Amino acid sequence: MDSEQLKNIVVDALENIKAQDLAVLPVRHLTSLTDYMVIATATSNRQTRALANEVQERVKDAGGQVVGVEGEAAGEWVLIDLGDVVVHVMQAAVRDYYNIDELWGGDASRVARQLRAAPPPAVG
């Protein structure tokens, strides 16, 4: 499965459980560790865990691999490492405090709702 397919599975899973403020950050040009950071806001510990679980299940069902998961017990910030895609599911206060959207080069006008943007047409 390529990183685009994986990203789309993650976004669908997050939308299914009503994640808020989804952002997809292409970070391939910033790090060799991953291609995309997907960041979503949850409204409670329960929703944070539900979103993280849905992402993991959907990826496994599609034949993908979950490399690692951190933070499920606390439920304020769950990080899911899928290799080519790293997912951060955070409660609003935690997301505001750490501001990882900006840390990884995103801004609200450019990132919000770039969920399934098609690549630009070829020139020439």
Closest CA to 26 of 15, 14, 38: 38
Q: What is the pLDDT of residues 72-105, one digit of tens each?
A: 888 899 999 999 999 999 999 999 898 888 877 7
Domain around 15: 3-111
What integer best gives the mean pLDDT of the chain? 85
Structural domain includes residue 117: no
The residue among 4, 11, 92, 91 whose CA lies nearest residue 54 is 11
What CATH number corresponds to the domain at position 30? 3.30.460.10
Establish if 123 belongs to a structural domain: no
Q: How many structural domains are present in the chain?
A: 1
Q: Would 124 be classed as within a structural domain?
A: no
What's the pLDDT band for 106 if we cut at 50, 70, 90? low
Q: Is residue 94 part of a domain?
A: yes
The verdict on residue 8 lying in a domain is: yes
Q: What is the pLDDT of residue 75?
A: 87
C-alpha 39 chain-centroid distance: 4
